[in-house]
Structure 1
Amino acid sequence: MSLIDHAIWWHVYPLGACGAPIRETHGEPAHRLRRLDPWLDYAIELGCSGLLLGPIFASTAHGYDTLDHFRIDPRLGDDEDFDHLMAECNRRGLSVVLDGVFNHVGIDHPMVAKSLADPAHSLIRLQRDGDGVRPEDWEGHTGLANLDHSNPAVVDLVVDIMLHWLRRGIAGWRLDVAYAVPSEFWRAVAARVRAEFPRAIFIGEVIHGDYAGIARAGTLDTVTQYELWKAIWSSLKDQNFFELAWTLKRHAEFSDDLIMQTFVGNHDVSRIASLTGDAGAALAAGILLTTPGMPSIYYGDEQGFRGEKGTDEAADDPMRPPLPNAPADLVPNGEWLHRLYQDLISLRRRNPWITRGELIVETNDQTSISYRVEADGHTMSTSVQCAPHHALTVLVDGAHQFSWNG
C-alpha cells in the first residue's frame, strides 16, 4: 500500500519553525534543524505518520530561491544534521517528504551566471534584453530565474537531485509550482526516478484547474486541493455552506480518479484560525479529517496559531513562526484544539477506508451541511453547523463516534 493511502502529514516550514533568519547573510552552519527533535514525538502523538518539510536546501532567503539543491541550508545545518533528523524519524516510523523547487532557482544560483556566459548551453530560460539576454523570471519575481524544462540536461539535473535525497532516506517529493512545469517534464523525471524508487511519491502543487487531468498527464500521485481549502475557510467565515457543498461535489469527482492532498493551512496562506476564529478552525479540522484525501496539518494550526498574509517583502512571515523550544513550552490556550485534532485523527485512523471513499452531500442550507462517505461496506456521516452555534457530529455505520459544540 502506498503512503498516499494512509499518510497524515505534519507540514513544517523548517526555516521559520527552527527560527532561522530569513533575510540575513549566511554564516557557518547553525544546526537549527535539530530544533525539530523535540517535536517528532509531538507529531506522532498528534496522530501524524510523516513530516512534509518545506525547503531545506541552500538558498538566498525564504528557501524557494535555491542556490544548491545538494546542500542543506547553512541556516539549518549540514549533512550531519539532516542524517540525524532522518535517523530520528526512521526510529519513530515517520516518513519524510521534501519540498522540491524545480520550476525556478534563485537569481544567485551559479547556473544563472553560467547560462548568461554561455547561452547556447543554458539551463535557464533566457529572453532578449536589448542587445543581450537576461533570465526569464517567475511571475514577476526578479530574484527567481525559470529553469528551461525543454532542455534534457534539466531533466538529468532534477533526476540526480531527487535520487540523491531518496538514497538518503526520504519517501518522496512535494513539487513546488508543479502547475507551471510542462507535464511531459514531470512524466520523464518520474519515470526515471521510479525505476530505482518505485514507491517514491510525488505531490504536485496545483492551485486550480483539472486536478485529476494534471496529475494523470504528469504521472503525479496527487496534487494540492486548493479548491477545497478555499471553500472550507470562506464558507465558515461567511457562514454560508453553499460554496462548500458545490466544492465537495467537485472534490468527489476528483477523488474518483486520485487521492487529493487536502489541507486547511500551509506556508503560503493565512492561518485558518485567523480566517475563521477558533470555533471555525475546529470545524475546518472536522471537515478536513472526515473527507476523502491525504490530509496534512500545518504546524501550529492544531494549536490555533494566528497569522495573516501581508503584502510586502515579509508577507509570509506571520504564517511561518518559530516553534517554542519544546511542546511543553506551548501556551495552554490551544490545548483544547490540539485534543480535538487528536480525536479526529484517531477517528480517521480507525476508519482508513474514507481516504478513497465515495463522498455524497446529503443536506445543505446556509448555516449547516451534512455529507457522508461510503466505502468497503461502511458509512461515515458528518454534520457541520456554524449558526446559531458551531457544532460537529460524526457517525460511523449509524453509531455516534464524535461530537463537538463550540
Structure 2
Amino acid sequence: MGDSDPITARRRAPVDSRPAVTVLAGFSPAATTAVARLLQRADPRLVSVSHDLGQVRDGVIRRVVRTSAEVLEDEVETLLHGCVSCTLREDVLPTLVRLSRTRPESDIVLLLPRVVEPEAVAGACAHCEVGGRPVTDAVRFDSYVTVVDAASLLTNLTSADDLRDRDLHAAEEDDRAVADVITRQIEFADTVVLWGGPEVEGFDLARAGVLLERLAPWATQVAVDAGRQIDSMSLAARLRHTGRHNPRVPGMNGRALEGYAIAVHSPEPDCGVVSVLFEARRPFHPARLHGALGTLAAETLRGRGQLWLASQPDTVIAYESAGGGVGMGSLGRWLAAQPAYRWAEATPDRRAAADLGWDAFFGDRRTVLAFVGLDFAGDALTERLAGCLLTNQELATDWTGLQDPFAGCFPLTED
C-alpha cells in the first residue's frame, strides 16, 4: 500500500518525547494542591512544581519541586523585580526546561499560585525563550486545568474585593479584583474540576456546575466529591494526556475577533443561572452605553466580549466586567479601518472570521457581548443593550462626532 497507507504513516510518525505539562490553576490552594497530590498518587514519577509568592512584592519567591515520595528542591530565589511576569520568566519557565533535561522520563504538574492567571503562563511561553530556545522545544503543554472550590465559588464571584483587600496583590500596581482573577482562571481552562464536598450538596452544587458550564462552555468539566474516597487513577485519566490545550485559541479578549464562541445563549434560568449573548452590526452611542455600564455590571456576575463605538469607529474595544467593576481597552484596529496590505498581519482565523461576516457598509465591525449571572432578566438586558445602539435616524447623520465620555481612553498606535 506504500506511503499512502494511513497505518504505515502512523507507525512512521515521530514519537513526541517531550515531558507533558499539566497546568493547575485555582483560587483555592487546598483544592488545587489536593488534585496535584491525587495525580502524583496515580503516577509516582510525576513531578510537581509550585511557587510561594508570599514575599514576591519584595522580590523573593520560594520554589518547591517534589514527587509523591520526596522533595527534590526547596529553594528561595531573589528576582530582579517582584512581579508575576518576572516569576514566570526568571524561574517558572527555566525550571520546566531544566526538569525536562534532568528528569526526561517524568511529566510535570505545574501548580500556579492562586493569583496567577493561566493565560499569563501561555503568553510567557509564546514570547519568552530559555537558553535561546522556545520553552516548547523542551516541554509540551498538554492541558490547562482550573480547580474550582464549589464552597467558595459564588461568594468570590459576587465579592467586590480587590486582591489588595485580602493582601494577595502580587505587586503594588496590582489592582485586579478577586472576581476578575477567578473568572479568567475558569475561562482560559480547557478542563475545569468542580471540587465539591459535604458542605455543598443538592441545588447549590448543581448551580455551581451550571455556572461553570456557562462561564467556560468550551471546557470539559470534571466533578470531584472530596467527601468520598477519590479514585486517583480515574481522575488522572480525565485530566492528564488529554491533548486538550490548543495554543491557537486566543485568550478571552480575542476570542470573538478570531471567530471563536464566547458564550452560549441560554436566557432561561437553569438552577438560576442565565447566559445572554448579544450581537449587533451597528455601533453603540457612546453616551448611552456609558450610562448603562454600571447597571450591566451590577446585574450580572460576568460580562465579556468586544464592541465598537460610533465615536471611535476604527477601534476594536474589549469589554469585561466582574465583581461589579468594568474594564475596557483597545484591541487595535478593525480590518476595515486598515489598508488591505496590512490584513496579512492578522491571523488566518481573524481574516476568515472577518470574511465570513463582512458587511458591505461596516466591514468586520461588530459587537459581540456575553453576560452570565443569576436570576437576571435576559430579555430586559438585551433590550437595554439594543437601546444603546444608534437609531436609524442617528445612522443617517454624521455620528462619528458624537459627544464621547470615552474620548482618549482607547488610543491607537500610529504605525
- Same fold by TM-score, threshold 0.5 exceeded? no
Structure exhibiting the larger radius of gyration computed from Cα positions: 2
TM-score (norm 1): 0.31
